[in-house]
Amino acid sequence: MTDVILRRFPLEGSPVSAEVITAGHINKSFLVTCDSGRRYVLQRVNRFVFHDVGAIMENLRMLREYLHDSREAPPMVCFIDTVDGRSFAEDAEGGAWRLCPYVENSLSLLRPENETDFTESALAFGRFQYALRDFPVERLTDTIPRFHDTPERFRQLRAAMESDPCGRRSEVERELDFAFVREERASVLQTCRESGELPLRVTHNDTKMSNVLLDVRTRRALCVIDLDTVMPGLSAYDFGDAIRAGAATGAEDGAGIRLDLTYYAAFVHGFLSACPHLTARERELLPLGAWTMTIECGVRFLTDYLSGDPYFSIDHPSHNLERACAQFSLAADMEHRFRDMQEIVKR
């Protein structure tokens, strides 16, 4: 399949290998090497998750043009048009494929290896958001409608719980209780968004450490990647998701993970220094953003488990349940440390 698709793109040389890239939950990616030495990343977009691939690519085109002359943000990785001028290619089964250059001498970490790595990711995501502070956010299409609408995520969980298509509800009553008792507080950010109390920003919405490429020699941030979920959103979304993923004491499916306040402080420092445009209210609600994104992610994992795992790729049948439990453990620890989280932001 990859050989047929690659003929649709203007490569420098002929492809000699296409190795599967195992990182990532959603899209399927390959590292393509050509006989010229040039390397590319070929990606099959998950159309179960992203129904309108054209909208994604149009979002990226507008951002690329807007940032073309900007020195305030790390450069974007640009996708290569097909030989017939399209932004992506389709296979006989309706699959959507796209191609971008591989960034040589770059490093992608699943988790920060030290505080400096995490600060670099904070600087990268903060600079990206700051550089787009004046972009007309209403021009962007929601590539996943209501993606960080936390009340909607709870509605989806409740629907999966009530329909129980896989007969798994009896296994997760404790997790369901944990989630629903926190539903009201987890909805505060969405209420602030709807009331206009918090401004809409251009947000990345998937601010994991692995979505920042570091220079392999200097460990400085080169660029942010995986921009499929760039949409209108809140600063607290990007801050919160980064803390959830990078300031935990273990992987997102690790048992009993907790918040590492040292890593949290490192990210706060980098993010706020790169985002001087945030309002006082935005800064005040950043800790709540970290807690909310953690709860929301746990709810999403739990919903996927109850629904038969259609969204997230899994390594074993209980993987999404383990992920949900880990996120709820992290959220509970944040509740105990919340005043410390607030003080760090104030400082």
Give SS3 for 212.
Answer: strand
Q: β-strands 15-21, 106-107: how paired?
A: unpaired
Please state, in angstroms and rounded to a whole number, the distance separating the CA atoms of residues 296 and 75. Answer: 30
Distance CA 96, CA 88 (A): 6
What's the whole-number average pLDDT of the chain?
A: 93
How many Å apart are CA 48 and CA 144, to the nearest integer? Answer: 11
User: What is d(CA 193, CA 197) in angstroms, rounded to the nearest whole number?
Assistant: 6
pLDDT digits (tens, 9 = 90+) for 115-154: 999 999 999 999 999 999 999 999 999 998 899 999 999 9
Looking at residue 313, its pLDDT comes to 82
Do the first three CATH levels of 2-102 and 115-346 match, i.e. the same topology?
no
Question: Closest Cα partner for 253 from 197, 302, 183, 203?
Answer: 302
In this prediction, residues 38-44 reach a mean pLDDT of 95
What pLDDT shows up at residue 93? Answer: 85
Rounded to 5°, the CA angle 211-193-267 comes to 35
187-225 tens-digit pLDDT: 999 999 999 999 999 999 999 999 999 999 999 999 999
pLDDT in tens, 237-262: 999 999 999 999 998 888 889 999 99
CA pair distance 300, 226, nearest whole angstrom: 20
Q: Is the pLDDT of residue 26 over 80?
A: no
Residue 79: DSSP 8-state: P
Region 27-35: mean pLDDT is 92
Using CA atoms, how far residue 21 sits from 26, 55, 247, in Å, is: 12, 25, 25
The CATH homologous superfamily of the domain defined by 115-346: Aminoglycoside phosphotransferase (APH), C-terminal lobe (3.90.1200.10)
Give the count of beta carbons closer than 10 Å to the beta carbon of residue 31. 14
Global pTM value: 0.91
Fold of the 2-102 domain? Phosphorylase Kinase; domain 1 (3.30.200)
Token pair in block for residue 194: 């709807």
The reported pLDDT for the residue numbered 251 is 86
Q: Assess whether pLDDT exceeds 70 at residue 24.
A: no
Judged against a pLDDT cut of 70, whether residue 1 lies above it is answered with no
Amino acid 3: pLDDT: 84
Cα–Cα distance, 339 to 230 (Å, whole number): 31
For the chain, domain boundaries: 2-102, 115-346
| Residue 92 confidence (pLDDT) | 84
Rounded Cα–Cα distance for residues 200 and 194 (Å): 10
Q: Are strands 212-215 and 221-224 parallel, antiparallel or unpaired?
A: antiparallel
pLDDT for res 181: 98
Please tell me whether residue 271 adopts helix, strand or coil conformation.
helix
334/293 Cα distance (integer angstroms) = 11
